[in-house]
Amino acid sequence: MKLLRHGPPGQEKPGLLDDRGQVRDLSGVVPDIAGDVLTREGIERLKGLDIAQLPVVTGTPQQDLRLGPCVVGVGKFICIGLNYADHAEESGMPVPPEPVIFGKWTSAIVGPNDDVVIPQGSEKTDWEVELGVVIGTGGAYIDEADAMNHVAGFCIINDVSEREYQLERSGTWDKGKGCDTFGPTGPWLVTPDEVGDFNDLGIWLEVDGHRYQNGSTATMVYKVPHLIAYCSRFMSLQPGDIISTGTPPGVGLGLNPPKYLKGGEVMRLGIDGLGVQEQKVRRL
């Protein structure tokens, strides 16, 4: 099942994508793609619907029908740093002995095709395609063997990053990670039964048609179940929380010389089975 949210910013309605690529409206069934809707019981209820009886939404998704972030009411936007060994190498940093956790502000979340806005004064805004994990059933001190029972689904995240703010300014990484529009999320939330082997998904990103990132989740240092269990040691995880699991090599920071977004570019990124995002980059 592919769950989504459609409509103008701030007025999105819940929906799902049917087998013909049409959006079916869920607003008569659930209030939104959030909270209890994401629990195992909530997902099973949606799977039991007769999709053919749901209203068809006019328009083609990601063309003349805008999609918003695929989940709303996100309490925590948790990111994992340096989780691909080859990305750590290109960043000039060692593979961490434990997962690196940092936060991305939830105000950064936008739709999968919304513009990415370079902050005022930024000269080092960068791209990062990542596999996002959305928590369905909450918990703390989750056993790794049980971790996948806490997952509502997977989605694409563009962990847009301002490298000067992240790495060269005093303090933590967070100030370079959570600027407005720095978290395109979607286009849809795909339930685990439709994803297949999440440990071996192709993952890529292009800028103006040039492919800079072209990797696989198979090269993650710390896998999804471990990340869920690990994060739950330090905070309770709740329905709608997102864990963005790190990026493969090919970011602008790692190029020689480094290359950053200036405004006017188009980013296009995707993960096998999870769809594609596309964002125009502009300056304030």
Question: Please, what is the average pLDDT of the chain?
Answer: 96
* Domain residue ranges in the chain: 69-283
Per cent of the chain over pLDDT 70 is 100
pLDDT at 134: 98
- Residue that has been written with the tokens 């490298």 in this structure: 163
**Domain over 69-283 is classified CATH 3.90.850.10:** yes
- Whether 171 and 261 have beta carbons less than 8 Å apart is answered as no
| pTM tops 0.75 | yes
Q: Is the pLDDT of residue 2 over 80?
A: yes
Q: Is the pLDDT of residue 86 over 90?
A: no
In this prediction, residue 90 has a pLDDT band, given cuts at 50, 70 and 90, of: confident
In this prediction, residue 214 has a pLDDT band, given cuts at 50, 70 and 90, of: very high
* Residues 13-34: tens digit of each pLDDT: 999 999 999 999 999 999 999 9
pLDDT at 38: 98
Other beta carbons within 10 Å of 106: 18
pLDDT at 243: 98
